[in-house]
Amino acid sequence: MLGDVTEKQSNQVKVIRVIDGDTFEIEGGQKVRLIGVDAPESVHPKKPVECYGEISSKVLKQLLEEKTVILEKDVSDTDRYGRLLRYVFLDGVNINQYLVKEGFAYASSYPPDISQQDLLTVLQAEARVLNKGLWGECETNDLEELNELIKDTLF
């Protein structure tokens, strides 16, 4: 099953607010950035709203806001902005994988946090072939070029 989790419940946190399609805030004010995914921009202060950005943000909000989730770390604890880097599970479903599989976000790798990257890449290829989500709605550039742009702006 996609994204099964058998991890202890000690990493449970309540999501207070979704910021955009790949970032949210938990109780206590800490921000969490989803590992291995990048959603189109919807609130970046220096960039216009990108194609599918508002939809990606709304989907994550519907999925997570005011819900209790399980956070799972890969290698890094935080990014350069102090956000926790985590895989997120809701009712046993890996949300990172779900967003890519359904075309709400791109698969993006940022070593060393790449334990699920092969699967995310496969899920993205499937979503792209099926024209799911942003793949059916947005004009996209070459994936390698896109990933380089993403890396330059996020990390």
Q: Which residues are catalytic?
A: 33, 41, 83
Q: 140-145: long-range contacts (C-beta < 8 A, 24 or more apart)?
A: 143/106
Report whether 37 contacts 108 (CB < 8 A): yes
Instruction: Tell me the C-alpha distance between 110 and 31, whole Å.
Output: 18
Beta strands at 31-34 and 84-90: parallel, antiparallel or unpaired: parallel
